Structure 1
Amino acid sequence: MKYLFVALCLLCRISLSWAQDSTAVRRDTVIAPTTTDASADDLLAGLSDSTETPELLPHKMLFTQRAFWGPKGLLRTLNVAPLTSEGRIKELKVRRTMLVAHQIGGFVTLAGFVAQGLLGAKLYNAKGQDYVDTKKWHERSATFINITYGTTLVMALTTPPPIVGPKRGFTTIKLHKYLAIVHLTGMVATNILAHMIQNNSELKPYHRAAAYATFGAYAASIIALKF
């Protein structure tokens, strides 16, 4: 009996030691979630960083856009268009309207170029009263084109900037802008030569070449946006 009692005591002690060890393990598993709490804090910190106020203007803008709509542009300085999130939403609507007007003006100007080309071709072979009448319509057509072309150009240069800047690499928008430089140069040259022809008729071939080059670059710039 004595040995049985001693064995039972030893068994109880071993059981208690196992119980203590298992409790220690469970205590460790309770402490472990503290690392999860730290991760949660890091996650919240990341979320707070990701919800910072986004940039309202792109880094790259046309110089005319920056002059009007830049952070220190004329409209910002005069407080006509404060740089706020709500204001930018309104500006994007204005941008869309101006770009639609720009496209309409482009097609109207293109039609004017076609009419001007037909009148110009007729003017080179006209004589007498027919020459006088054709020249009059040719000048009226030129005035019409200058007005529509100028209006269309202003719409493109002064429109509010988009949210993001232009994409990297070659795009049809960039091709449209490059061709715009060509036909703008052609427009200036054509108008200058038109005035110089009055005193020097030998400049007519150069005037016609500048007009055709302007029309070709202008038509190509419109086609570029469709592809």
Structure 2
Amino acid sequence: MIRSSIIGLLCWLTINFAQAQDTTRVAPVAADTTKPATQSADDLLGSLTDSLPTTQLLPDHMIITQRLFWGKKGLMRITNASPLTTEGRSNELKVRRTMLKLHQIGGFVTLAGFIAQGIIGSQLYKADASNYRSLKELHESMATAINISYATTALLSLTAPPPAIGARRGLSTIKLHKYLAIVHMAGMVATNILASQIGKNPELKPYHRAAAYTTFGAFATAIVVLKF
């Protein structure tokens, strides 16, 4: 039941990321849109408090989760928790900055979990009867922890308030980060599905391992392109 719920959540997150626009980069409205942007994570976070235009408080394009919480008729508006005003949007950008910082921290925590899981998994493949059960239980517990950390990290990005108006277009590390997110989310779904089927069909083990390695590679690269 828990694994099925996690798989469902990961599928939903994957769909939302696939539909997402480039909403993590905020630039002044009058920015030059003809020059490709090269941004680091520090540049990203440092630009999240840019001043807002008075004529439009929300961007034209928002992902479903942002509309659900922060749209004109979103949960934060109808409950009056965050009225749609110039001052309110300025505060929301500060919240966005904090949430994306936590998103970065969660990414590193999850990456550490992936590395630990890879070590445990390699030992599990070579384990004999004496320690197979204990390694399998540790592997499953680590998988649950990683899924929770991964989903939390993704939700921090997907539910953060939308950026200011005037996102820069063109080639950017932020877009690459987004495309890699689609890959590693799909990999997470595949890894969990295959893991749930291995007990019935041990021949799926190589495919499970390949999906896990692909997920790790895409996830690690997504972090590297922002940080370095």
Shorter-chain TM-score tier: 0.7 to 0.9
Q: What secondary structure is seen at the aligned counterpart in 1 of 2:190?
A: helix
Q: What secondary structure is seen at the aligned counterpart in 2 of 1:208?
A: helix
Q: Is the 8 A contact 2:173 2:225 kept in 1?
A: yes
* Bigger RCO (CA 8 Å, 6+ sep): 2
1:156 matched to 2:162: no
Aligned to 1:199: 200
* Alpha-carbon offset, residue 75 of structure 1: 1.4
Aligned to 2:75: 74
Q: In structure 1, what is the Cα distance between the partners aligned to 2:102 and 2:197? A: 33
Q: Is the 8 A contact 1:60 1:166 kept in 2?
A: no
* Alpha-carbon offset, residue 164 of structure 1: 2.3
Between structures 1 and 2, the one with greater helix share: 1
Q: In structure 2, what is the Cα distance between the partners aligned to 1:212 and 1:57? A: 39
> What is the RMSD computed on CA atoms of the aligned residues?
1.2
Aligned to 1:146: 147
1:175 matched to 2:176: yes
Q: Is the 8 A contact 1:113 1:215 kept in 2?
A: yes
Q: What secondary structure is seen at the aligned counterpart in 2 of 1:203?
A: helix
Report matched runs for 1:211-222 at 5 Å: 211-222=212-223
C-alpha spacing 1:135/1:79, structure 2 compared with 1 (3 Å) = same
% of aligned pairs identical? 64
Q: In structure 1, what is the Cα distance between the partners aligned to 2:132 and 2:186? A: 28
Q: Is the 8 A contact 1:60 1:165 kept in 2?
A: no
Amino acid at match of 2:169: R
* Alpha-carbon offset, residue 61 of structure 1: 1.9
Q: Is the 8 A contact 2:194 2:208 kept in 1?
A: yes
Q: In structure 2, what is the Cα distance between the partners aligned to 1:101 and 1:165? A: 24
Aligned to 2:60: 59
* Alpha-carbon offset, residue 93 of structure 1: 1.3
C-alpha spacing 1:150/1:168, structure 2 compared with 1 (3 Å) = same
TM-score by length of 2: 0.74
Report matched runs for 1:14-93 at 5 Å: 53-93=54-94
Aligned to 1:35: none
Q: What secondary structure is seen at the aligned counterpart in 2 of 1:128?
A: coil
Aligned to 1:120: 121
Aligned to 1:131: 132
Q: In structure 2, what is the Cα distance between the partners aligned to 1:53 and 1:120? A: 54
Q: What are the Cα deviations for residues 93-118 of structure 1, in whole angstroms up to 9, with x where unaligned?
A: 11111111100000000000000001
* 4+ long deviations beyond 4 Å: none
Uncovered stretches (5+) of structure 2, i.e. residues with no partner: 1-52
TM-score by length of 1: 0.75
Q: Is the 8 A contact 2:56 2:165 kept in 1?
A: no
Uncovered stretches (5+) of structure 1, i.e. residues with no partner: 1-51
Q: In structure 2, what is the Cα distance between the partners aligned to 1:69 and 1:149? A: 23
* Alpha-carbon offset, residue 165 of structure 1: 4.3
**Structure 1 residues 95-104 or 85-94, which shifts more?**
85-94
